[in-house]
């Protein structure tokens, strides 16, 4: 789907650029041909080979599960070592022949077989390996492979194994798993070094999955309820957003990604503040952490203002988001008021996000703002639906918002077009 | 320094090839170490027989296994000698003494003590400690026995008809591994070293 959307936009842009004389019709056609077929076709063997290696890994695990009792123990041991050596040998052979996609598939197979072999030996010798340490070791071996080879598949495996480790360690130890950050930090450093954008997606995704998986123990550690922990997550996401802004000045590929994830998590967290959860459970540590995060957001964002990468209006929007999260323990637990305060703020911030995206020509922010606005309207509709009076109030409010929108949106559109034209002119 | 030492190796096999060799050696050594550890314990002359009560779950990754609980899994520490103050996650060394056809716990220590003549030491980890009753639940690493697919139920049915006991080999530091399974005192599964 994304490829189709991208091609449609590229075709429109190329037509414009041909008209302006920046690109010749022949070059435009070559660009379109390359974009429409080349990339996808290039990636097919790689994807198929890696998927094949994953299937081989699953086959080995199922083979293990069948507990192949008929085969003598020594033969079983020879088989598992041979399989491991063959996989790595195949990776080496493929790399020497210049088949990098197949070499990557061999690396995935080698790493999968290493993990499967640990399980298999545990089965052969009846070792109770219900402790998660061996997954951590598996993860470190994948990281070492990613660094030494270097291999993106091994790096992706490191992220996945780090998450598997954290879920298992949490289940086993019932404590927040901080050891996750050892492989995660090293893997993220390597991702940046390899300049791998998809890897940064994995790094950010696994970071937030870690936060979600460890939420319960983090609440105990910090001394807060679920809503207040989400408020802290919103503040951390804001720090990530502002760091993304700063990074964008040197690396737009990574900076924009960091910004998008921060923006998404901050808004998703903010959307939950209107669901009041009854009591204020935040302790001193919560307030200390929240104030540190808010100060960091304020200082970093102000740095962006002085560097002329952020307007004062957008600085205000970010600070309102931060203040809304910091004041959540005080404002978020009052019957009725929580919805009123945070729903109003959320609607206002959604409109601001559209304006922020428009000013910066940031499509993700525009779409996120519009979706947040529409989603909030729908939520409010269901919240107020019940009595005729409430429904009437909702429609009246909706009407007012739409009329206001009809006045604001054309202005936003004009600014977007003007910004795009300025960009074209430069 | 290291790069100078590695240079001929990398020149000979290339960066990818050198890395593959190092990874294969490290992985092979690690897997061999697990095997060597188990082989050493299985070859140990220290063998005790423990009474067990199995159930039969399925491990998603590793097929069928029988879960084994023992009389020494739940230790009432006030009823035995040795140390009396414990906490979750601590390593525990339990002294076993022969009693008819099986072995029972007589003492528990924080460190590896020299047992009385004829007694043996088994090492475990406290998974749960009840401070009010001074009772500890201990994992010894011998709580699973992997069986061919579908045979777990058969073993469970056999257990219901008669007593099931487990031969456990003990390493020098008290680390335990399953050596065999008995029903009515007769061996039904025996673990070869290789």
The predicted-structure confidence for B53-103, as pLDDT tens digits, reads as follows 655 444 444 456 777 888 899 999 999 999 888 888 889 999 999 988 789
**What's the pLDDT score for residue A361?**
83
Most confident of A135-149, A399-413, B8-22: A135-149
Nearest to B61 among A61, A95, A127 (CB): A61
Asked whether the predicted pLDDT for residue A125 surpasses 50, the reply is yes
Residue A153 with chain B: CB contacts under 8 Å = none
Separation CA B177–CA A402 (nearest Å): 72
Nearest to A144 among B23, B31, B61 (CB): B23
Nearest-CA distance from B152 to chain A in Å? 12
- With contact defined as beta carbons under 8 Å apart, do A265 and A237 qualify? yes
**What's the pLDDT score for residue A423?**
56
Q: What is the mean pLDDT of residues A148-156?
A: 92
Nearest residue to A128 via CA among B54, B35, B39, B144: B144
Separation CA B62–CA A65 (nearest Å): 4
Helix A215-222 crosses helix A284-306 at what angle (to 10 degrees)? 100
With helix as H, strand as E and coil as C, how does B144-176 read?
EEECCCCHHHHHHHHHHHCCEEEEEEECCCCCE
Helix or strand or coil: residue B178?
A: strand
- With contact defined as beta carbons under 8 Å apart, do B131 and B1 qualify? no
**What's the pLDDT score for residue A43?**
62
Separation CA A28–CA B159 (nearest Å): 77
Nearest-CA distance from B100 to chain A in Å? 26
Query: By mean pLDDT, which of A224-228, B17-21, B80-84, B155-159 is the weakest?
Result: B155-159
Nearest-CA distance from B3 to chain A in Å? 13
Separation CA A190–CA A188 (nearest Å): 5
Separation CA A370–CA B40 (nearest Å): 66
- With contact defined as beta carbons under 8 Å apart, do A349 and A320 qualify? yes
- B90–A contact, CB cutoff 8 A: no
Beta carbons within 10 angstroms of residue A130's beta carbon: 14
**Higher per-residue confidence, A397 vs A114:** A114
- B23–A contact, CB cutoff 8 A: yes
CB atoms A64 and B38 under 8 Å: no
DSSP B78-130: GGSEE-----TT-EEEEEEEEETTEEEEEEEESS-PPPPTT-EEEEEEEEEEE
Separation CA A53–CA A51 (nearest Å): 5
- With contact defined as beta carbons under 8 Å apart, do B52 and A52 qualify? no
- B5–A contact, CB cutoff 8 A: no
Two tokens at A43? 């990636």
Separation CA A283–CA A230 (nearest Å): 15
Residue A65 with chain B: CB contacts under 8 Å = 59-63, 149
CB atoms B177 and A64 under 8 Å: no
Q: What is the mean pLDDT of residues A191-204?
A: 92
Q: Residue with structure tokens 């993860």? A: A139
Helix A252-271 crosses helix A363-384 at what angle (to 10 degrees)? 10
Nearest-CA distance from B164 to chain A in Å? 17
Most confident of A158-167, A368-377, B159-168: A158-167
Percent over 90 (pLDDT), chain A: 39
Helix or strand or coil: residue B179?
A: strand
**What's the pLDDT score for residue A358?**
87
**What's the pLDDT score for residue B194?**
75
Residue B147 with chain A: CB contacts under 8 Å = 67, 69
**What's the pLDDT score for residue B158?**
65
**What's the pLDDT score for residue A29?**
81
Helix or strand or coil: residue A361?
A: coil
**What's the pLDDT score for residue A410?**
67
Asked whether the predicted pLDDT for residue B2 surpasses 80, the reply is no
**Higher per-residue confidence, A222 vs A5:** A222
Percent over 70 (pLDDT), chain B: 86
Query: By mean pLDDT, which of A69-78, A197-206, B32-41, B105-114 is the weakest?
Result: A69-78
Most confident of A35-44, A123-132, A278-287, B172-181: B172-181
| ipTM for the whole complex | 0.77
Chain-centroid distance of CA A225 in Å reads 24
Asked whether the predicted pLDDT for residue B160 surpasses 70, the reply is no
Question: How open is the CA angle A45-A50-A52, to the nearest 5 degrees?
Answer: 95
Average predicted confidence (pLDDT) for chain A: 84
Q: What is the mean pLDDT of residues A221-247?
A: 92
When pLDDT is cut at 50, 70 and 90, the band that residue A37 belongs to is: low
Asked whether the predicted pLDDT for residue A62 surpasses 80, the reply is no
Q: Decide the pairing of beta strands B102-109 and B81-82.
A: parallel
Kindly tell me the burial class for residue B40, based on how many C-beta atoms sit within 10 Å of its own C-beta (0-12, 13-18, 19 or more).
middle
**What's the pLDDT score for residue B59?**
47
- With contact defined as beta carbons under 8 Å apart, do A376 and A347 qualify? yes
**What's the pLDDT score for residue A171?**
82
Chain B stretch 99-118, residues whose beta carbon is closer than 8 A to a beta carbon of chain A: none
Asked whether the predicted pLDDT for residue A40 surpasses 60, the reply is no
Two tokens at B164? 């099931």
Residue in A closest to B128 by C-alpha: A173
Separation CA B121–CA A222 (nearest Å): 42
Integer angstrom CA distances of residue A36 from A4, A11, A334, B65, B176: 9, 10, 55, 52, 62
Residue in A closest to B148 by C-alpha: A67
**What's the pLDDT score for residue A65?**
59
When pLDDT is cut at 50, 70 and 90, the band that residue A2 belongs to is: low
Mutant choice from B2, B15, B34 vs A, greatest count of A C-beta within 10 A: B34
Query: By mean pLDDT, which of A25-29, A112-116, A421-425 is the weakest?
Result: A421-425
- B34–A contact, CB cutoff 8 A: yes
CB atoms A127 and B26 under 8 Å: no
Q: What is the mean pLDDT of residues A237-264?
A: 90
**What's the pLDDT score for residue A203?**
95
Nearest-CA distance from B2 to chain A in Å? 14
Nearest residue to A120 via CA among B62, B117, B112: B62
Q: What is the mean pLDDT of residues A289-295?
A: 95
| Model pLDDT for residues B27-56, shown as the tens digit of each residue | 999 999 989 988 888 888 888 888 776 554
Upper half-sphere CA count for residue B37 (Cβ side, 13 Å): 17
Query: By mean pLDDT, which of A180-189, B61-70, B120-129 is the weakest?
Result: B61-70
Asked whether the predicted pLDDT for residue A265 surpasses 70, the reply is yes
Residue in A closest to B27 by C-alpha: A114
CB atoms B23 and A125 under 8 Å: no
Helix or strand or coil: residue A386?
A: coil
When pLDDT is cut at 50, 70 and 90, the band that residue A93 belongs to is: very high
With helix as H, strand as E and coil as C, how does A131-142 read?
CCHHHHHHHHHH
Q: What is the dihedral of CA A114, A119, A122, A128, to 10 degrees?
A: 130
For residue A150, say if its preceding peptide bond is cis, omega within 30 degrees of 0. yes
CB atoms B63 and A123 under 8 Å: yes
The chain A residues in contact with chain B (CB within 8 A) are 61, 64-67, 69, 72-74, 77, 80-81, 84-85, 88-89, 91-92, 95-96, 103, 110, 114, 117-128, 130, 137, 141, 144-145, 148-149
Asked whether the predicted pLDDT for residue A105 surpasses 90, the reply is no
Nearest to A126 among B15, B177, B193 (CB): B177
Separation CA A191–CA A164 (nearest Å): 19
Asked whether the predicted pLDDT for residue A277 surpasses 80, the reply is no
**What's the pLDDT score for residue A302?**
94
When pLDDT is cut at 50, 70 and 90, the band that residue B155 belongs to is: low
Upper half-sphere CA count for residue A54 (Cβ side, 13 Å): 10
When pLDDT is cut at 50, 70 and 90, the band that residue B188 belongs to is: confident
CB atoms A125 and B38 under 8 Å: yes
Residue in A closest to B180 by C-alpha: A126
Nearest to B27 among A73, A141, A149 (CB): A141
């Amino acid at each position: 789907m994304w490829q189709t959307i991208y091609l449609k936009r590229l075709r429109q842009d190329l037509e414009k650029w041909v008209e302006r004389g920046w690109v010749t019709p022949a070059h435009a056609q070559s660009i379109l041909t390359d974009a429409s077929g080349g990339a996808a076709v290039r990636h097919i063997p790689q994807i198929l080979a890696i998927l094949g290696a994953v299937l081989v890994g699953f086959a080995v695990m199922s083979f293990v599960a069948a507990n192949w009792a008929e085969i003598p123990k020594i033969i079983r041991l020879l088989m598992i070592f041979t399989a491991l050596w063959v996989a790595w040998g195949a990776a080496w052979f493929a790399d020497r022949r210049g088949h990098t996609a197949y070499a990557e598939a061999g690396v995935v197979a080698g790493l999968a077989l290493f993990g499967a072999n640990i399980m298999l030996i545990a089965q052969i010798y009846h070792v109770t390996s219900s402790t998660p340490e061996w997954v951590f070791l598996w993860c470190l071996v994948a990281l070492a492979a990613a660094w030494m080879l270097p291999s993106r598949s091994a790096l992706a495996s490191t992220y996945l194994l780090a998450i598997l480790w954290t879920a298992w360690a949490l289940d086993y130890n019932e404590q927040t798993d901080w050891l996750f950050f050892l492989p995660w930090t090293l893997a993220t450093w390597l991702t940046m070094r390899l300049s791998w954008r998809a890897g940064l997606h994995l790094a950010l995704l696994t970071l937030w999955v870690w936060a979600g998986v460890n939420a319960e123990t983090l609440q105990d550690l910090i001394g807060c309820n679920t809503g207040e922990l989400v408020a802290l997550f919103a503040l951390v996401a804001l720090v990530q957003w502002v760091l993304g802004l700063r990074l964008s000045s040197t690396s737009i590929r990574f900076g924009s990604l960091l910004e998008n994830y921060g923006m998404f998590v901050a808004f998703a967290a903010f959307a939950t503040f209107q669901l009041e959860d009854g009591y204020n459970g935040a302790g001193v540590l919560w307030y200390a952490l929240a104030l540190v995060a808010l100060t960091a957001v304020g200082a970093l964002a102000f740095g962006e203002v002085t560097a002329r990468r952020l307007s004062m209006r957008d600085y205000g929007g970010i600070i309102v988001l931060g203040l809304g999260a910091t004041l959540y323990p005080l404002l978020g637990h009052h019957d009725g008021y929580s919805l009123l305060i945070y729903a109003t703020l959320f609607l206002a911030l959604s409109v601001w996000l559209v304006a922020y995206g428009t000013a910066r020509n940031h499509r993700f922010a525009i779409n996120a703002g519009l979706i947040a606005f529409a989603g909030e309207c729908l939520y409010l509709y269901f919240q107020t639906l019940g009595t005729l009076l409430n429904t009437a109030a909702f429609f009246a409010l909706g009407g007012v918002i739409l009329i206001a929108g009809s006045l604001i949106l054309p202005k936003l559109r004009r600014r977007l077009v003007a910004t795009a034209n300025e960009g074209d002119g430069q | 320094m290291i790069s100078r030492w590695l240079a001929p190796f990398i020149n000979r096999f290339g960066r990818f090839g050198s890395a593959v060799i190092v990874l294969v050696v490290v992985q092979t050594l690690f897997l061999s170490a697990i095997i060597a550890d188990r082989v050493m314990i299985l070859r140990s002359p220290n063998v005790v027989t423990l009474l067990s009560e199995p159930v039969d779950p399925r491990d998603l990754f590793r097929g069928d296994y029988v879960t084994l609980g023992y009389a020494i899994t739940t230790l009432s520490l006030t009823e035995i000698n040795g140390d009396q103050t414990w906490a979750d996650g601590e390593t525990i060394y339990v002294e076993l003494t022969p009693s008819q056809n099986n072995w029972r716990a007589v003492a528990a220590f924080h460190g590896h003590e020299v047992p009385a003549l004829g007694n043996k030491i088994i090492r475990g980890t406290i998974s749960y400690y009840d401070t009010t009753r001074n009772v500890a639940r201990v994992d010894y690493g011998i709580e699973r026995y992997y069986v061919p697919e579908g045979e777990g139920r058969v073993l469970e049915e056999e257990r219901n008809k008669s007593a099931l006991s487990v031969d456990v080999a003990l390493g020098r530091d008290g680390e335990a591994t399953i050596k065999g399974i008995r029903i009515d005192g007769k061996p039904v599964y025996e673990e070869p070293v290789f």
